[in-house]
Structure 1
């Protein structure tokens, strides 16, 4: 009887240790997350080579992509890949919470938007 109890305790201890290890690894990744400015110091603008930027920029899981843009030239919509490829904006994804912060200064400061989906936060 004691041998069986010992095996159960050993299995429980191994499971608990594995769980703690997984939590620690996930927390480490979340703590190491950074905000990546899409387009670097240029921000999201016309005439910029984003393929080159993407090929030289490392984005890790948990990182946030930050889009700094001029609202006179751009807007923020989440669409399907098919709609994106067809440049179709008539059916954006529903249930998206969008918070927009615009500078009240007279200069044309870029707009910052935060798009929140269940389990996903996108900064635009």
Structure 2
């Protein structure tokens, strides 16, 4: 999508559900990084893809984290959350039909869910 390849760990039947830090490590071991969505369009694109693939009832780790503070950033890029974060939190969750309040909150590192990783097309 848009020159970016995405790896969704749930699509691999041998990928375990992971906490945030293990998801980060797992993606890095594959030469990837947890995905960041700096625009609403990118978030919408991956959301639609995951829904079409039948993953509308799952939560996924991305690179979003608050690092133990109130500062929310995308770990993969180091950029702060912008309107994308507000859109995702005030809307429905990124892959399902549940209100955003029911999905793991950014910073809930101990919750175990699959990961979405990204890498550039070569």
Q: Is the shorter-chain TM-score for this pair beyond 0.5, marking a shared fold? A: no
TM-score, normalised to structure 2's length? 0.26
Using CA pairs below 8 Å that are at least 6 residues apart, which structure has the higher relative contact order?
2
Higher share in helix: 1
Larger Rg belongs to: 1
TM-score, scaled to structure 1: 0.25
